[in-house]
Amino acid sequence: MLLIRSLLFQFYFFASVAIASSTIVLCWPFSHQVRFAVARAWGKSMLFAGRWICGLKYVVEGEENIPQQPSVILIKHSTVFETYAQLVFFPIQTWVLKRELKWIPIFGWGLAAMKPIAINRGAGHSAVMQVIEQGKMRLAEGIWLTVFPEGTRVAPGKTKKYGVSGAALAREAGVKIVPVAHNAGDLWPRRGIIKKPGLIRFVIGPPIDASAQTPKETNLIAQAWIESKMREISDGYRQG
């Protein structure tokens, strides 16, 4: 039964992505706010479908930590869950992502309409400068920016070097870093089909002042909080 529910949810995911992406493309002549409203509605539908089909319950903690002004979100990337959940939990936003995603038919077209910062991950320093330059423009428009600092999905209990672009952007733009940890990977294994029922804790941490230290030091502060909170949440899940 768990496999059937998981496959049903997977079918809903692919079908809803195609519909939402097509709708966003059709909304291209309209404002980013309109296109984001479509994306947020899709995110809400995914949260609903995940809860009722697979038993993926969730709770948001630390909403009081969300700043009033647009900021840079550093979020642990382990599943698809956080990519749609953040659409609902945070203000209007866009993302730093690998440019290849924009080349995917339909999905990539819809993604391109959402003002992402599409980088060549092998470009090194020039990619960081691109994030800073375009990121400052997005923030000035009132659009938050999400960065997956490890650049790819990472299994629970694992970590990779955090890229410096998010911290560098926050310092240059004079905005806060908002760290996020969650345990979605404990219920939705990386590259796995099965989604186990349970409670996902989506924890928003205290904002980090990126102007108080170098971007590398800011990264270490953010990584220490995220990885520590990830262990705490996962340990609580396994013991619960």
Phi, psi of 236 (to 5 degrees): -65, -35
**pTM exceeding 0.75:** yes
Mind listing the pLDDT tens digit for each residue in 72-125?
999 999 999 999 999 999 999 999 998 999 999 999 999 999 999 999 877 778
Q: What is the mean pLDDT of the chain?
A: 93
pLDDT at position 67, please? 97
pLDDT, residue 240, reads: 60
Q: Which string of DSSP letters, residue by residue, matches 12-72?
A: HHHHHHHHHHHHHHHTTTS-HHHHHHHHHHHHHHHHHHHHHHH-EEEEEE-GGG--SS--E
**pLDDT number for residue 9:** 96
What percent of the chain has a predicted confidence (pLDDT) above 70? 98
**CA-based end-to-end distance of the chain:** 23
Question: How far is 34 from 172, CA to CA, in rounded Å?
Answer: 29
